[in-house]
Amino acid sequence: MIPPTNFDLEALEAVLEGQQNLVVRDESEFIRETGIPPEKLEAWLSQEWVACDIAAVMAKKQRVRWGAVLLTRRHGNEVFARLFHPTRGLVVRDIKAESAEQMRAVVRKCGLVESAEQIISEVDVLTEVCRAGTVPTSEIMLRWVAMLRPIQALAQLRTGVDAAPMRRLNASIRAFATACKERGRDQSPQGKFREARLNARFGLGNYRSVLDGFVELKGTAKGVSSRESANYVMHECGLPADQYLDALHMLANDGSDPAAVANPPARVRTALEREQRCAESLERRRSAPLSAPFNEEEAERFDDPVTVERKDRGADRAEPFEDRVMIEIDLAAGIAGLGADQKRAVEARVDGLSLQSSTAAAELGWDQARLEKVRR
């Protein structure tokens, strides 16, 4: 403990001018305000406050932190003082106590019964969202954290609340706890795949969040979702970090039923491999050298392949670009009446996947029996 210092109070106040939340109190006055017994003051200051060196502060070698208190004691014409700022733990406890008091005031203003009914409604909605599996677990948990303050305030004021709403509130909380427990129990590959897709969609902002209106919590939830997505991509799927963003977009836009995917990590890897093959094929076509030099007429056709007609071949013959368009139209019409599995097999075959290969089932995310059924 730094001993009291005899100093020029006006000089110190000049150095601390503009210091936010600086409180100057006589020790006896400070004891009355805080309610600390005089015999316990020194122990409390040692545990909950940090002593500052006034000489260093006046020399501007030490900065006084937020919430500082200058305790003064007069002896005749001399003034002795000690300068403290609160520890982080004390600040947090004070903020929590102030926040709790504010929430109790809000509950009293709204009415105890009305507040209980509103909280019950919000807990029930959160329970249904948890059971439906449409929102990441991290987002649900943070929304629950935001609801704890009004629940605690209502519990502290429950003596003025009818017993029936409180019983229903307890039942709602138990139902929510059960839903969370059941959801957390699913650690299957399909369950992890479902959670990874939800995290990816939340991270990319692809749906409305239950944290809308809670800006800070929403930012925290996005950070948690990003870490969970990265963990799934690199540890469950075995992909390198440089494929994280591609995998994130694949997960966010995947429309399959997670329960029907036999091997979710293989599905992710296959989708990225197929995308890579398509990108490489497109790049090869773009960079392929021309087989013959252009003449003037061919250059004109290349610039406008749709509208330019070749007089030497007849005006009614389609250009190569038009041929490709017609092929796409014919393909779409041809698979329109097929089942979902057959459509997917045809599209994969067009992308370059051989259905006869040994890895075809894994790349499609199917088992071998399902692939054989589609082949027949």
Q: Which of 184, 119, 128 is nearest to 157 (CA)?
A: 119
How far is it, in rounded angstroms, from Cα 332 to Cα 179? 43
Please give the pLDDT value at position 196: 92
Contact 351, 275 (CB under 8 A): no
The lowest-confidence range among 187-201, 238-252, 310-324 is 310-324
> What percentage of the chain carries pLDDT values higher than 70?
78
Please give the pLDDT value at position 254: 87
Please give the pLDDT value at position 175: 94
Please give the pLDDT value at position 7: 56
The lowest-confidence range among 158-172, 174-188, 227-241, 292-306 is 292-306
How far is it, in rounded angstroms, from Cα 225 to Cα 236? 15
How far is it, in rounded angstroms, from Cα 129 to Cα 159? 31
Please give the pLDDT value at position 147: 86
Please give the pLDDT value at position 319: 47
At residue 315 the predicted structure's pLDDT band, cuts being 50, 70 and 90, is very low
At residue 61 the predicted structure's pLDDT band, cuts being 50, 70 and 90, is confident
Token pair 């030497």 is at which residue? 312
Structural domain spans, the chain: 5-86, 89-185, 189-286, 318-376
Q: What tens digit of pLDDT does each residue of 232-259 get?
A: 999 999 999 888 888 988 898 888 888 8
Q: Which of 129, 136, 137, 143 is nearest to 205 (CA)?
A: 136
Contact 243, 230 (CB under 8 A): no
Q: How far is CA 67 from CA 22, 23, 79, 91, in A?
A: 6, 8, 22, 8
Q: What tens digit of pLDDT does each residue of 282-297 get?
A: 888 777 765 555 555 5
Is 70 a residue whose pLDDT tops 70?
Answer: yes
Please give the pLDDT value at position 214: 72
Please give the pLDDT value at position 5: 52
